[in-house]
Amino acid sequence: MAGRLEGKVAIITGAARGQGADEARAFVAEGAKVVLTDVLPEVHSVAAELGDAAVALDHDVTDEAQWGVVVKTALDRFGKLDVLVNNAGIFRPGTMLETTKEQFVAHTNVNQLGVFLGMKAAAPAMIANGSGSIVNIGSGAGQRGYPGIFAYLASKWAVTGMTKAVARELAPHKIRVNSVHPGLIATPMIAGPNDQAALAELAATVPLGRTGITADVVEVVIHLASDKSSYSTGSEFTMDGGTGL
């Protein structure tokens, strides 16, 4: 039986580890061809694991010229572009008073500017293709206020607004744009081996009683990338175990 993404070509950023790597694996398993990008060299190992259905590129999402190379690679290697998953992001905790200008700008550059540049680079290829799906990875922090993560929250809140604006702009071209908002997901970006005790304490505050896993997010991303979600655009999809209730 054909996969849910059979014949699709996708770009997934931040695909060297964690959620992005698992998205790439799942996309290929569902029949897609994927361009994986990251600043971390491990992205090449993930692509090698996936064989001819994947290619990896070193990619700084804040560099507009590099985005041009990424889209061109998708077109040259696989012939078209159907899906963009703006997954790359950084997370550094800190209150507003603790946050330096440099820390704030770093979050804005990767988490917000990177999403804008990705959408701008991918849209012309999708317009030429006659359809497309853009999935922007936001955060539960991009839907409500939380203390202690000021710069991250600000950048993810911007992703929510950009998604809705671009969904309106690209709808006439049959391009859908949605945002996905994970809560506490156990990935290397959130918690390393030495942070497990703190992660367990946070998990106890989640109504469903556990942290999320990457599969919780990946399933929603696949749905949005597929034709099964053809009437969804400009929407927010939250998976936070009820934290925002």
Residues labelled catalytic:
152
Beta bridge partners of 182: 239
- B/e letters for 80-94, b = 16+ CB within 10 Å, e = fewer, are bbbbbbbbbbbbeeb
List all residues 6 or more positions away from 1 whose beta carbon is below 8 Å from its beta carbon: none
List all residues 6 or more positions away from 107 whose beta carbon is below 8 Å from its beta carbon: 90, 92, 151, 152, 154, 155
Collapsing DSSP states into helix, strand and coil, what is residue 64? Answer: helix
DSSP 147-198: TTBHHHHHHHHHHHHHHHHHHHHHGGGTEEEEEEEE-SB-STTT--GGGHHH
